[in-house]
Amino acid sequence: MTESLPGPLLKTDLLGRVKTPAARRERILNEFEQSGTSGVKFAELVGVKYQTFATWVQQRKRRRAGPSKGKIPKAPAATVRWLEAVVGKTADPTADSSLPVLLPGGARLELTCAAQLPLAAALVRALEKSSASC
């Protein structure tokens, strides 16, 4: 006389780990998304180690992300950040004054008179365009 087992037998790999069929994984993940329960608690409720469950969730997110096929996206190129600077008149008009401008890659530009501002702005715009096209 054979006993009726609750549900199908689960296959194991060579290390004795239970192999969960893809269809069951998808049902579990669907239930998780609808449950509102934390991942840790839900994994405990369904009898799966949390690390395994977290891997399933991550793989599903990557599949849904589309054609990137799980690759980490490139970080966007550094954008130009503008800083407004107000330069007041110095007490000593003969004093040597300048405005340093730090550029990407460590380059430094030093403006010594207001006539240089349009050239500096054009340079920064050109650098911004060249970094956006890379």
Q: Has this prediction a pTM greater than 0.85?
A: no
* Phi, psi angle pair for 3, to nearest 5°: -85, 145
pLDDT class of 18 with cuts at 50, 70, 90: confident
Is position 4 within any domain? no
| H/E stretch holding 11 | strand 11-12
* Phi, psi angle pair for 124, to nearest 5°: -65, -40
Are 5 and 25 within 8 A, CB to CB?
no
Are 109 and 97 within 8 A, CB to CB?
no
Is position 6 within any domain? no
* Phi, psi angle pair for 113, to nearest 5°: -150, 160
Range of the domain at 60: 11-65
Does residue 84 sit in the same domain as residue 55? no
pLDDT class of 1 with cuts at 50, 70, 90: very low
- pLDDT tens readout for residues 32-86: 988 888 999 999 988 888 999 999 999 998 888 876 555 666 666 666 666 666 6
Q: Which whole number is the average pLDDT over 22-35?
A: 90
Does residue 51 sit in the same domain as residue 82? no
Looking at residue 86, its amino acid is: V
Does residue 109 sit in the same domain as residue 58? no
